[in-house]
Amino acid sequence: MTRVRIEELGDAVEAAYEIARTCQAYDQPDVPFSTLDDFRAFLTTGWPGYGHERYLGFLDGAPVGRMNLAIAQDDNLDTVMIEMSVLPEARRHGVGRALFDLAAERTRALGRRHLIGGSVQRHPDGGAFATAMGAKPGLEELRSRLDVRTADDALLGRLHADALAHSGGYRLVRWTGVPPDEIIDDVAYLDGRLNADAPVGDLSIEPEKVDAERVRQSELARIARGRMSYNTGALRGDRLVAWTAIAVEPAAPRQAWQNITLVDPDHRGHRLGLLVKIENLRYVRAEQPGLEVIDTFNAAANEHMLRINRAMGFREVETVVQWQRTLA
């Protein structure tokens, strides 16, 4: 009897959920996991610009591993993003290798060359497995956390006042969910700059092609998946030139994610990044009074943003490595 087999996910959502939930509790025990309903919505709600393939890995007939392949349709057409997890007690029995071999096979079948995925460095498992699969480290990222309960509000107030003093001629705007029509094109422009402005290390990643409709559909997908984004931007005249977002899952309101922060290159040097981040922190704290911690990821080489986060009180808690396997 073959001990390991791989199947398409199909309707086995609860099995995939238990694997994902258990693995996160092992790899990132301080990060709350989604509810089953939100996880189901994540699987059924397509992310604009991507196709997905999902699989389960079995060991002796029991589901012990899961894999998601995210396949960009509009850009990065040489790349497949892989997310994979195997129950801790089932590791080193060939399930991960079988899943990865299938990912490589599917990548080749799609006419692509690069497989990219991350591993949390809390345990040696992920890095050792990626190396064994022939992947190379492409980008080191740091997860940092702000404890909102002990945030230094006096310090944040001084930083805010200093940022305001350097940002004359700009005005602030706030919104939740889908951006207002009058700025949605500007949001798309800034969003599309992410892979150009933030360090991507040695990863084969190019800037995404983002337009207003993709922004709109992305926010609607986020809402369908049980999340709400709180956004603050800076305007010069009627144009949005800086923007930041924090995402909260109402089912787990004590924790949130600080997401994108971008400033148009022509408007840097006015401390707009710091200004919109502090303003948005105030916004989400007012709207989510039960919020306790905010997490964020930054490239370890992104010293500018890390310096802003540290000034606000974020402290580094773990390292994640993004790995890349380039297929022959």
H or E segment to which residue 230 belongs? strand 228-236
For residue 179, give the DSSP letter.
Answer: P
- pTM higher than 0.85 for the full model? yes
230 — phi, psi (to 5°)?
-105, 130
Domains of the chain (ranges plus CATH)? 4-134 (3.40.630.30), 143-318 (3.40.630.30)
C-alpha to C-alpha distance for 249 and 223, rounded to whole angstroms? 9
**What's the pLDDT score for residue 328?**
85
pLDDT at 2: 72
Supply the angle between the helices 36-44 and 13-27 in degrees, to the nearest 10. 110
Contact 166, 272 (CB under 8 A): no
Q: How many CB atoms lie within 10 A of CB 152?
A: 11
CB 122 within 8 A of CB 318: yes
* Nearest Cα residue to 178 out of 217, 120, 232: 217
Q: How far is residue 215's CA from residue 219's CA, in Å, rounded to a whole number?
A: 6
Q: For the chain, which residues score pLDDT lower than 50? A: none
For residue 162 the two structure tokens come to 């200093």
Spatial contact of 191 and 260, defined as CB atoms under 8 Å apart: yes
Q: How would you classify the pairing of strands 171-176 and 136-147?
A: unpaired
Rounded-to-integer distance, Cα 106 and Cα 116, Å = 13
What are the residues whose beta carbons fall under 8 Å from the beta carbon of 47, sequence distance 6 or more?
A: 70, 218, 221
Q: Residue 60: left (phi > 0), alpha (psi -120 to 50), or beta?
A: left
Query: Residue ranges of the alpha helices (H) in 193-257?
Result: 194-197, 212-224
Please provide the DSSP assignment of 128-190 as one string: HHHHHTT-EEEEEEEEEEEEGGG--HHHHHHHHHHHHHT-TT-EEEEEESSPPTTTHHHHHHH
User: How far, in Å, are 3, 121, 320 from residue 74 at the CA level?
Assistant: 39, 31, 27
Number of other residues whose CB lies within 10 A of the CB of residue 56: 21
For residue range 179-228, list pLDDT tens digits in order. 999 999 999 999 999 989 999 999 999 999 999 999 999 999 999 999 99
Per-residue confidence (pLDDT) for residue 46, from 0 to 100:
79
The partner residues of 118 in beta bridges, in order of sequence, read 322
Helix (H) or strand (E) holding 16: helix 13-27
